[in-house]
Every structure is written in structure tokens, then in C-alpha cells.
Amino acid sequence: MDLFVRPQKNVLNTKLPIIDVAADEVIFKAGSQDRRMFLLLEGEIKIYTQGESKEIEIAVIEQYQFFGEIEMYVDKPRSENAKALVNSKLVVIRTPSELERFTLDNPWLSGKMMETMGERQAVANTLLAKKLANASKNTDNTASIDLKTGELHLTPDSAVKKEAEDNRNH
């Protein structure tokens, strides 16, 4: 069994596969149906999308952070790419039950995972709020996004006010 020491003397216990990824190696591509998530043990991973002429960085994953988790639970293709910035070592988690077992074996990681998810959600909320504000700017519409499809909807403010009024009267 491989043991990896975390700075605060926490030990990583796992029987899951650990892979080595070379610098500049792509781990997954947008559009792929890959359902695995990863925990970075060593190195740095860049999460990015492909713009018209260049890569647009979304995040840089550092030691003991995870990535690729959404696709494990949502039956949709990956929306971004991941590649190693330097030689890296990853734990591969293939199923929700493997993740559950992994967090039971490494309880110190649960807090780190919650912290990371909270940070990502805060960033996503800020970006979403800006997108909605820009979409409804200089119009008489209220903007909303369907969280299942990602579609932007513009509704006339008068319809929003009427719906709110109807809800108060019932």
C-alpha cells in the first residue's frame, strides 16, 4: 500500500489506482464521456476551455485538490479540458462508491473537498450573477438561467411582478 504524507501529518490511505501524468499530457477533453474524478497528489493540473485562438484557463489544481467530479454524478459530456502543467501523480476515482470508501478511509480529505466545492460554487455564483445582470441590462426583462439546461431566459418584468403577486394571493 502506498502512503503519502500530507503536511499536517495526515496519511493518504488508498487501494485506488494512482497514475503518473507527464507535463503537458491531457487527462481529459471537453466533450468526452469520461466519468472519473481525480485527486492530485503531486504536481499541478490546468483546467481550461479552448477559445478561438488560445486556451482559456479556468483553474489550476494544486496538491490534495480534486477535479472532474461533476461528470461522476451528471450524465453529460465534460465541459472543459484538463492537462498536467508539470509531471503529476493522481488518484483515480471511478465511481461514487469508490469516492465514499475513499473519504471514509481518509476523513481529513472530506473537509478539504467541502472547502474546494464551496470556493468553486462561490465563483460560479458570481459569474452567474454577472451574466444575468448583463443579460437584463437596459431592458425591461428579468433574466434567469435554467440550471438543468444552462439556457438563458428573459421574462418581461411585468410578467415577473404578476407571478409574484399571484403567489402572494394564494
Per-residue pLDDT at 88: 98
Residue type, 84: A
Residue 48 is predicted with a pLDDT of 95
Grade residue 170 by pLDDT with cuts at 50, 70 and 90.
Answer: low
Grid cell for residue 38? 481525480
What pLDDT, on the 0 to 100 scale, is given for residue 36? 96
**What residue type is 89 in one-letter code?**
K
The whole-number pLDDT of residue 42 equals 95
Q: List the beta bridge partners of residue 92.
A: 38
Task: Give the pLDDT of residue 161.
Answer: 56
Instruction: Encode pLDDT of 76-130 as tens digits.
Output: 999 999 999 999 999 999 999 999 999 898 888 888 888 877 887 787 777 777 7
Outline which parts of the chain fall under CATH 2.60.120.10.
3-110
Whether residue 139 has pLDDT greater than 80? no
The kind and range of the H/E element at 72 are helix 70-73
Planar angle of CA 13, 45, 31, nearest 5 degrees: 105
The model's confidence at residue 49, banded by pLDDT at 50, 70 and 90, is: very high
Whether pLDDT at 4 is above 50? no
CA distances (Å), origin 22, targets 18, 19, 34, 37: 13, 10, 19, 18
- Contacts of residue 5, defined as CB under 8 A and 6 or more positions apart, other chains included, come to 11, 12
Q: Are 47 and 78 in contact (CB under 8 A)?
A: no
Least confident of 19-23, 55-59, 67-71, 134-138: 134-138
Superfamily of domain 3-110 in the CATH hierarchy: Jelly Rolls (2.60.120.10)
Residue 94: the pLDDT is: 96
Count Cβ atoms below 10 Å from residue 48 Cβ, excluding itself: 18
Q: Is the overall model pTM greater than 0.85, yes or no?
A: no
Residue pair 35/92 in contact (Cβ under 8 Å)? The answer is: no
Mean pLDDT value across the chain: 82
